[in-house]
């Protein structure tokens, strides 16, 4: 994995990139940057592992993992800023995410002043093909293990492009650049985090 090439590629695509040695440093940076803003958070083990939610202003962060319900999804969708993780990032600067409900994908695409994509450098892949493989066969299959669903990937750890009614990977978004009218910053962490 070539981290420097990835950073250059992301920047050439229009993403701002911030890099931190630890998740704690990244969480402190984000908490400071998000002061005074409402913040929507999509499902992200990385965001959870760095402890960011507890550092955000009370009453201004909306995360369905902390407060389940439709009202939380709605507040997250209309927040000033949106935080999400990445399932994979190619060295060419493509950011891939798979989702079942779609809130996490929608949050990256529209409705916010800025989106932050928080990712471990361990999710960097040499090219688009390997990034797609990682998103489907590492991130999605590990994510499926968190739920009490009966999907084939839970048996052998491989994506089967199944038609299960409990499928959690219903859509894929590839960011080739920030969406028009919305800033995007990739926060890279030099630790192995997330799925």
SS (H, E, C) 117-154: EEEEHHHEECCHHHHHHHHHHHHHHHHHCCCCCCCCHH
Question: Is 20 contained in some domain?
Answer: yes
pLDDT of res. 165: 86
Query: What distances in angstroms separate CA 48 from CA 2, 27, 51, 176, one per listed residue?
Result: 26, 10, 5, 25
Residue 74 covered by a domain: yes
**DSSP structural state of residue 25:** H
End-to-end Cα, the chain, rounded Å: 17
Whether the pLDDT of residue 1 is over 90: the answer is: no
pLDDT of residue 4: 96
pLDDT at 164 over 90: no
Please report which confidence band the pLDDT of residue 143 belongs to, taking 50, 70 and 90 as the band edges: confident
In this predicted model, which residue has the larger pLDDT, 161 or 26?
A: 26
Residue 195 lies in a domain: no
Per the listing, tokens 């800033």 go with: 183
For residues 155-166, average pLDDT: 86
CATH label of the domain that carries residue 155: 3.40.50.10420
Average pLDDT over the chain, rounded to an integer: 94
Q: How many CB atoms lie within 10 A of CB 1?
A: 13
At 70-116, the pLDDT tens digits run 999 999 999 999 999 999 999 999 999 999 999 999 999 999 999 99
- Over the stretch 41-76, which tens digit does the pLDDT of each residue have? 999 999 999 999 999 998 999 999 999 999 999 999
Q: How many domains does the chain have?
A: 1
The reply to whether 194 falls in a domain is no
Per-residue pLDDT at 149 exceeds 90: no
Coil, helix or strand at residue 78? coil
Distance between CA atoms of 110 and 104, rounded to whole angstroms? 11
Q: What is the pLDDT of residue 159?
A: 85
At 128, is the secondary structure helix, strand, or coil?
A: helix
In percent, how much of the chain has pLDDT > 90? 78
Instruction: Give the domain range for residue 84.
Output: 3-189
């Amino acid at each position: 994995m070539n981290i420097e090439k990835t950073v250059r590629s992301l920047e050439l695509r229009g993403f701002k990139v911030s890099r931190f040695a630890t998740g704690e440093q990244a969480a402190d940076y984000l908490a400071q940057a998000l002061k005074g803003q409402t913040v929507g958070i999509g499902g992200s083990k990385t965001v959870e592992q760095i402890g960011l939610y507890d550092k955000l202003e009370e009453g201004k962060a909306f995360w369905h993992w902390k407060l389940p319900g439709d009202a939380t999804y709605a507040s997250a969708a209309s927040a000033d800023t949106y935080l999400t993780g990445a399932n994979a990032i190619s060295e060419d600067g493509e950011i891939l995410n798979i989702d079942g409900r779609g809130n996490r994908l929608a949050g990256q695409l529209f409705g916010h002043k800025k989106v932050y994509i928080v990712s471990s450098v361990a999710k960097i892949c040499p090219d688009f093909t390997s990034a797609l493989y990682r998103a489907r066969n590492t991130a999605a299959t590990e994510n499926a293990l968190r739920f009490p669903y009966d999907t084939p990937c839970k048996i052998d750890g491989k994506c089967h492009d199944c038609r299960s009614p409990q499928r959690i990977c219903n859509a894929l978004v590839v960011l080739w650049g920030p969406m028009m009218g919305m800033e995007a910053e990739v926060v890279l962490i030099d630790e192995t985090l997330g799925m």
